[in-house]
Structure 1
Amino acid sequence: MANQKPHAIVFPYPYQGHITPMINLCLKLASRNLIITFIPLEFNHHSISKAHDLPADADIFTGARNAGLNTCYNAISDGFPFDFDRDGNDDL
């Protein structure tokens, strides 16, 4: 157990202004030998992928993993369809 690396599980707040700084923090921590698991909402994953023009089988940390950083990425559902108006219903 003494040889295990620290592992951070990151759930970014689901608004765009919070996701990019959280990604940068995760990359910084991963570069310091931490294992990072980043878990955005599927809706935000779709937005991130579209904004960064990522292929369907890639995520924002694909390049980091290819560079040897220990990062995992797993989008989860918020229970709403993609066309649900999240901005108009933020009081739910």
Structure 2
Amino acid sequence: MNILPDGRTDTKGAALYSGYTVKTLAMWRSQGKGPPFVKRGRVWYFIADLDAWLCEGASRGATSAAEGKRERRAPRSAKCDAGTTASGA
């Protein structure tokens, strides 16, 4: 996975990082769902945005849009746990 110095990665890198497929991320983009992305010639995802999106889904117990498809999902990040304990929640 290639992460650029400004913290962004392409769709393939985002798929590896998040545990979702490239195709799922593409479908979510077209539906206005999924993690935030930037399109500047190519589609880019910022790692900080992916972390926040993954933690948000983990904290509210949300499932993916492909709920019944048994898609591989990344485990809850230690960053999510660190963020909740720091806030005292």
TM-score (structure 1 length as normaliser): 0.28
Larger radius of gyration: 1
Q: Which has the higher helix share?
A: 2
TM-score (structure 2 length as normaliser): 0.29
